Structure 1
């Protein structure tokens, strides 16, 4: 098979990788990423070429499978195509099928070394793959369900934990570990694992990917894997390239062309950048790379509006998170007139925006009055991502790979007399909910949302937020679902709370931040209050019925007995 590659040099050309001929090849037929991952690692450890389905249509894989080879079909109990074996036989292939239920266990070889990653952190599995192949080791993908089976395999083995783990899983694995590479940032984790790789197998070449897809190059074991953003090259990554004298970067996929250009520019063209963009059999057409998408959350951010209020000399930027999970954003911007900068401002730290939430961030900016009747534009340099350490995406104009995003500046006055404050945070153990008490200092009706951007759940930083709530009285308590274990309660002894609010539901122009002690209650929550149970879960009313007291009262007056009460949540 040949692999199409573009090289960023003054002269552009195509480089063809031609692997050796294999008598047997592996085909993985599963909807589960962890089965595909384990199947590909199994193939490379056994010196076989590996292929996989990534859709219910087998035509794509049939185009690129080499003829005249015996196929080992690894098929899970959740295959893309249940009849794939017969289809392959009808095409003239000799097929042996191996059925798997949990491929990370079923395909595990007899090895001295296991690298272990958590299933919820698929990018850690990608990072560990080249190291495992180079050491002839195996990567075990663990979750709460297969944890007992996996721990039964670890006795007397060299066990290395990679990535980040929930506390209940890590506490069990700690009994067997001989080493660990623990790092919540996917960028820094890839560099730490690459350091380990280079100590055992020095090389000046690395593979570069955004960690969103499985691709066969990752499993060859000739180069460490470096994670970048989809349009972001972290500064520490570029420094690592220089410190380790990296000469060649193989970038997986044309979607990372912008990052490849950044590497060339930042290295003063001293690093050769190859973009792996296609695959083909000799003499055939070139097809797109086969990639299997990892379960990554949908992260989507846009700027809904940017307003300048001359009376307060403030710029109000409304960000909208239309993805399915919370994100962090960090913004710097310039205000331009005819391409000339007249003002600028930016953030010192990232802001958290919950799923489906809008956030208004204000900045002190002074624009001369003589400029306010001109056409003014704003250039945004906004990076965002899953955590403050993983701001791996930029807002860009349509059709552009890199920043800035350009918006027109609107000039108008904004009035808002609301004033809210967070006064108390309580964890209700019996109900697995965190209550946040909000005080209405201005006595004005207002809408608000509260956020816990740094709270830990099972030892893992897990930003939480409420839904949009309304307050008209003096106080209100809102609730967020969270299951904190005793260690979580200790680690969250003080909680950072952010409240965004305003008189208008769609324009939270005010925000405040406070750090409060986390109080713990093992009793009942206040009655008749709303609680939030998660995205899309809605609102419920807590109805507490003190059954024993009520029954005694009825019996005392001679008209009770025989009543049944049901708690309704």
Structure 2
């Protein structure tokens, strides 16, 4: 009995030992398999390097890498192309995206010379579309976001949403839209979204793909809308802060949305949006916006961190380097206050504003006389076309002593590319001079039409007063390329009493643009002094279009031809009747 039990126990022990060996072997096999997979992935791991002077190539290359889950680098100068080699890994394979204009031609050969595994990606003529094709064919990504490439901020704003929604950003303009349409016709997109302003021909060409449009009127409003959409996909309490003037790796990562803040000011609507979105943390990318980021921290009760440098990982060197950033086209804008004068006879503060660049701009200013603590301010933003000067007269009552010596004016001007994007701040103290001038000028707007041959609106005014009048004009809320804009004449005209004068406001208009404007609103600024057009009048006109003389001649010739034919056939008919 005991021997039988002992034997049975021995069999059980052998069986148990066998199970342990099997389990150990299976565990070892799993480890080896996992190691093999890891080794295989490591061996086949690819990183992307973009070697191009074109920001669109850099952007396209980074978004391609992010959608593929790859590490991405970009070259930002010739010296950086060389120094970048010190941070590349011998265990990785590098796909080099060379632009039409690259910092170092044949960059992949330089990598190979350093013992790195590298190859260039061949493509025909548009890297942006070629990478879209690869993502479609290899990853099945068929959702697209269309942006204009004249300014870079729209592409930066939409980058995180593109990543989390698995969409690819395409740059569309008159030169690229045909290629994009051909690409879409190869395999119909799942969705197409137009973000921000694009050219009319781009928008029209895309209609066959039923695009959705996101255009709230300005870049800050568009940015808030795309962040809302991001948060629906990836609710998160942290955001990145930037102003859309450069590309940086984390901005393309998609882990956090991007909220635009201005260089010196944050639009009120964006301040409210940051509160409503429930963000608790924010990371400022770069150190050029610290004043506005400080406002976010102090006034909006959000913890703000600043990413202003990068460490040199694995080098043993504890020093920091500047962030790798790549500039994108931005809206260049610069305004100034040229003079502040108090007109004793009219009790007005005359402030002359100056646009120093060709880009149109809007400004809202508050001016305080420091001695009297009296203030004048704009209720609406003042429009300044490129290189335009404009004088605005603000009613301001001063007592006799203050009139004789107004003292120092402290001005705070908020300005930007449109009324909803007043992101810049000018603070300036100026001595207020005095003048004693009455303005008895009188004028009426009597006609307005569009002259096709001169590509200009012609505004006719009449001097109905007894003194010479200087005048200029603006068209308010004109629809051009599907967008509202203001335009102004670039030259003042002088009109003698009782006479008429014409002001040209140049703007090239297509037939569709003209159809979008059944009427136009004209605003004329005028005055006795050329440097002080402090009076204004507005009038709305049904749009009239004057064709060129050539078209008029063609029309007249056609009428003559009809008359000749009538005479010929009329005579023949008469002969038959006889």
After TM superposition, the score normalised by the length of structure 1 is: 0.81
Note if contact 2:441-2:468 (Cα within 8 Å) is conserved in structure 1: yes
**Residue 483 of structure 1 is aligned with which of 490, 508, 512?**
508
CA distance in 2, matches of 1:208, 1:137: 22
CA distance in 1, matches of 2:535, 2:128: 47
Residue 117 of structure 1 deviates from its aligned partner by 1.6
**Residue 35 of structure 1 is aligned with which of 26, 43, 57?**
57
CA distance in 2, matches of 1:365, 1:60: 63
**Residue 481 of structure 2 is aligned with which of 458, 475, 478?**
458
Note if contact 2:146-2:193 (Cα within 8 Å) is conserved in structure 1: yes
Residue 235 of structure 1 deviates from its aligned partner by 1.9
The equivalences for 1:102-501 within 5 A come to 102-108=126-132, 109-110=135-136, 111-154=141-184, 155-177=188-210, 179-267=212-300, 269=301, 271-282=302-313, 283-284=316-317, 285-337=319-371, 342-372=373-403, 374=405, 376-396=407-427, 405-442=428-465, 444-473=467-496, 474-501=499-526
Structure 2 residues without counterparts, runs of 5 or longer: 1-41, 561-578
Residue 304 of structure 1 deviates from its aligned partner by 0.9
SS of the counterpart of 1:254?
coil
Pair 351,248 (structure 1): closer, same or farther in 2 beyond 3 Å:
same
Residue 524 of structure 1 deviates from its aligned partner by 3.8
Structure 1 residues without counterparts, runs of 5 or longer: 1-19, 397-404, 526-541, 553-569
Note if contact 2:362-2:383 (Cα within 8 Å) is conserved in structure 1: yes
CA distance in 2, matches of 1:59, 1:156: 36
Indicate the structure (1 or 2) with the bigger Cα radius of gyration. Answer: 2
Aligned length in residues: 500
Residue 162 of structure 1 deviates from its aligned partner by 1.7
Per-residue CA deviations over 1:406-452 (Å, capped at 9, x if unaligned) read 22222232454444443222123455332222322336444433222
Pair 421,415 (structure 1): closer, same or farther in 2 beyond 3 Å:
same
Pair 248,370 (structure 1): closer, same or farther in 2 beyond 3 Å:
same
User: Higher mean Cα deviation, 367-376 or 232-241?
Assistant: 367-376
Pair 112,336 (structure 1): closer, same or farther in 2 beyond 3 Å:
same
Per-residue CA deviations over 1:518-539 (Å, capped at 9, x if unaligned) read 43234347xxxxxxxxxxxxxx
Pair 508,89 (structure 1): closer, same or farther in 2 beyond 3 Å:
farther
Residue 178 of structure 1 deviates from its aligned partner by 5.1
SS of the counterpart of 1:395?
strand
Q: 1:49 aligns to what?
A: 71
CA distance in 2, matches of 1:394, 1:438: 36
Pair 457,375 (structure 1): closer, same or farther in 2 beyond 3 Å:
closer
Q: Which structure has the highest helix share of the two?
A: 2
SS of the counterpart of 1:426?
strand
User: Higher mean Cα deviation, 307-316 or 176-185?
Assistant: 176-185
Residue 140 of structure 1 deviates from its aligned partner by 1.2
Residue 190 of structure 1 deviates from its aligned partner by 1.1
Per-residue CA deviations over 1:94-142 (Å, capped at 9, x if unaligned) read 3311245322201111113112222235322112111111122211111
Residue 546 of structure 1 deviates from its aligned partner by 10
CA distance in 1, matches of 2:480, 2:229: 30
Per-residue CA deviations over 1:299-353 (Å, capped at 9, x if unaligned) read 000111111112211101111100121111111222112xxx5211211111111
Per-residue CA deviations over 1:477-530 (Å, capped at 9, x if unaligned) read 23334333444334322322233344444x1342314132143234347xxxxx
Aligned CA-pair RMSD:
2.9
Note if contact 1:500-1:508 (Cα within 8 Å) is conserved in structure 2: no
Residue 197 of structure 1 deviates from its aligned partner by 0.9
Note if contact 2:364-2:380 (Cα within 8 Å) is conserved in structure 1: yes
Pair 23,368 (structure 1): closer, same or farther in 2 beyond 3 Å:
farther
The equivalences for 1:530-545 within 5 A come to none
Q: Which structure has the highest strand share of the two?
A: 1
Residue 167 of structure 1 deviates from its aligned partner by 2.6
CA distance in 1, matches of 2:546, 2:435: 50
The equivalences for 1:503-542 within 5 A come to 503-505=528-530, 507-524=531-548
Per-residue CA deviations over 1:378-417 (Å, capped at 9, x if unaligned) read 2222111111111111113xxxxxxxx3222222324544
Per-residue CA deviations over 1:243-273 (Å, capped at 9, x if unaligned) read 2211111112211111111111222x3x111
SS of the counterpart of 2:543?
strand
CA distance in 2, matches of 1:264, 1:408: 35
